[in-house]
C-alpha cells in the first residue's frame, strides 16, 4: 500500500457525506506497498481503510469487494467493505475508483514464530474452504502468461547469470502443468505485511486486491516463501511444518499436491522476483512509495532450486 493520489481532508469530508460514518476525525497516508493509494480514515463512528485503485478498473473491483464481504460473512477474519447510503461499496474519489473497508485490530510481524505460521496456515485454509461457495471468479492476471510477458520486459536489464537463471526457470515451469491440482479463490499476496496479529492471535488478512482463481497450493507456496524463509532465502523447516500442518488440518492436502510442492515454491518465487524487477525498472511515481528489493526473491528462488529434494520431504502426514 502507498500514496500515489493525494486526498485532502476537505475532499474526503465531502466524499464521506455519502456514507453513514459520521464526521471525519483524522486522515493518514499509508506508506507501505507499491500498487494502490491507501489511507487510514478515522471518523466519529470508527476507523477504516480508504483505498484508491491506481490500476484496477471499476469493472473488476466488485470481485474483490464482494469476495471480502463473502469471506467476512463466513467468519474469515478480513476487512468488510462499507456500503454507502445507496448500498454501493465502490465509489469514485479524485478520479479514481475508491472503497472503504473496516480496519482490523493488530499489526504485521517482522519476525514470525512457528505459532504465527500455524495461524496463517489455518486461516488461509479456512479462506480457501469458504471461497468454494463464492459465486464469481477471476483468472489470475499474474499467471503463466504474465510471467512470460514480464520476463521479456525485464530480461535485458539482467546480468548474464541472472538472465540464464530466468530463462531456465521459465523452461522448467513450462514443463510442469498444475491444472490438475485443487483450485479455487486465492489471496495471491499473503505476505507478512498483509496479515495482522494481536499477540499470537491472528487479527485478519488484508489487501485482497490480487485475489483470483488459481491453484490453491500456489497460494500456500506464496505464503511459505515469505513466512518461512531465512534472510538468505533458505526455508526454516520448523515454521514451514507448522504452516503446512495447520493448513492440512482445515483442508487436507493431496498426494498430487505433495508431488507439485517443490515446483510451486519455485513458481511463487519467480512471480515475485519478476514483479519486483518490473517495479524497479518501470517505477510508478508516488508521493509515499516503498520500493522492494528484487534480489530478495532471486535468493529465495535459488534456494528453492538447491533445496528441491529437501522440500519434497517437508510435508504433512496423511
Q: Does domain 9-102 have CATH number 3.30.200.20?
A: yes
Average pLDDT in the 148-169 region? 98
Determine the pLDDT at residue 238.
97
Neighbours of 84 (CB within 10 A): 18
pLDDT at 317 over 80: no
H or E element, residue 46: strand 46-52
pLDDT at 140 over 80: yes
pLDDT at 265 over 80: yes
Confidence label for 40 from pLDDT (cuts 50, 70 and 90): very high
Determine the pLDDT at residue 263.
97
Determine the pLDDT at residue 32.
64
Determine the pLDDT at residue 56.
87
Locate CATH 3.30.200.20 in the chain.
9-102
Name the pTM for this structure: 0.93
Q: What are the residues facing 205 on neighbouring strands?
A: 195
Helices (H), 55-107: 61-73
Least confident segment among 27-31, 106-110, 252-256: 27-31
pLDDT in tens, 77-128: 999 999 999 999 999 999 999 999 999 999 999 999 999 999 999 999 999 9
Locate CATH 3.90.1200.10 in the chain.
114-313
Query: Based on the number of CB atoms within 10 Å of its own CB, is 101 exposed (0-12), middle (13-18) or buried (19 or more)?
Result: buried
Confidence label for 233 from pLDDT (cuts 50, 70 and 90): very high
Determine the pLDDT at residue 285.
65
* Domain at 114-313: CATH code: 3.90.1200.10
Assign 288 to helix, strand or coil: strand
Q: Are strands 183-186 and 24-29 parallel, antiparallel or unpaired?
A: unpaired
| Residue partners of 98: CB distance under 8 A and separation at least 6 | 15, 50, 51, 52, 53, 90, 91, 92
> Which of 249, 244, 205 lies closest to 224 in space, CA to CA?
244
Determine the pLDDT at residue 33.
53
pLDDT at 2 over 70: no
Q: Record the cell numbers describing residue 166, joined without a space.
A: 530466468
Mean residue pLDDT across the chain: 94
From residue 92, alpha-carbon distances to 11, 54, 79 in Å are 12, 12, 19
Confidence label for 287 from pLDDT (cuts 50, 70 and 90): very low
Least confident segment among 27-36, 229-238, 299-308: 27-36
Amino acid at each position: 500500500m502507498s500514496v500515489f493520489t493525494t486526498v485532502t481532508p476537505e475532499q474526503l469530508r465531502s466524499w464521506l457525506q455519502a456514507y453513514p460514518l459520521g464526521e471525519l476525525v483524522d486522515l493518514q497516508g499509508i506508506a507501505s506497498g507499491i500498487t494502490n493509494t491507501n489511507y487510514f480514515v478515522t471518523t466519529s463512528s470508527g476507523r477504516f481503510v480508504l483505498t484508491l485503485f491506481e490500476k484496477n478498473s471499476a469493472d473488476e473491483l466488485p470481485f474483490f469487494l464482494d469476495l471480502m464481504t463473502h469471506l467476512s460473512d463466513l467468519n474469515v477474519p478480513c476487512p468488510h467493505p462499507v456500503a454507502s447510503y445507496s448500498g454501493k461499496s465502490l465509489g469514485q474519489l479524485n478520479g479514481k475508483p475508491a472503497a472503504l473497508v473496516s480496519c482490523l485490530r493488530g499489526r504485521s510481524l517482522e519476525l514470525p514464530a512457528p505459532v504465527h505460521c500455524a495461524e496463517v496456515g489455518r486461516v488461509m485454509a479456512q479462506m480457501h474452504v469458504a471461497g468454494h461457495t463464492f459465486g464469481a471468479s477471476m483468472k489470475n492476471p499474474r499467471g503463466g502468461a504474465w510471467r512470460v510477458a514480464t520476463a521479456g520486459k525485464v530480461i535485458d536489464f539482467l546480468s548474464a547469470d541472472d538472465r540464464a537463471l530466468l530463462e531456465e526457470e521459465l523452461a522448467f515451469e513450462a514443463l510442469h502443468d498444475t491444472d490438475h491440482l485443487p483450485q479455487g479463490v486465492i489471496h495471491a499476496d499473503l505476505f507478512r505485511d498483509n496479515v495482522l496479529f494481536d499477540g499470537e492471535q491472528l487479527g485478519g488478512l488484508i489487501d485482497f486486491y490480487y485475489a483470483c482463481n488459481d491453484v490453491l497450493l500456489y497460494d500456500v507456496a506464496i505464503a511459505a516463501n515469505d513466512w518461512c524463509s531465512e534472510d538468505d532465502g533458505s526455508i526454516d523447516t520448523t515454521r514451514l511444518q507448522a504452516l503446512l500442518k495447520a493448513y492440512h488440518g482445515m483442508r487436507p492436502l493431496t498426494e498430487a499436491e505433495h508431488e507439485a510442492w517443490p515446483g510451486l515454491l519455485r513458481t511463487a518465487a519467480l512471480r515475485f522476483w519478476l514483479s519486483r524487477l518490473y517495479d524497479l525498472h518501470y517505477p510508478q511515481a508516488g508521493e509515499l512509495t516503498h520500493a522492494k528489493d528484487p534480489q530478495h526473491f532471486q535468493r529465495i528462488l535459488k534456494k528453492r532450486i538447491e533445496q528441491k529434494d529437501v522440500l519434497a520431504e517437508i510435508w504433512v502426514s496423511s
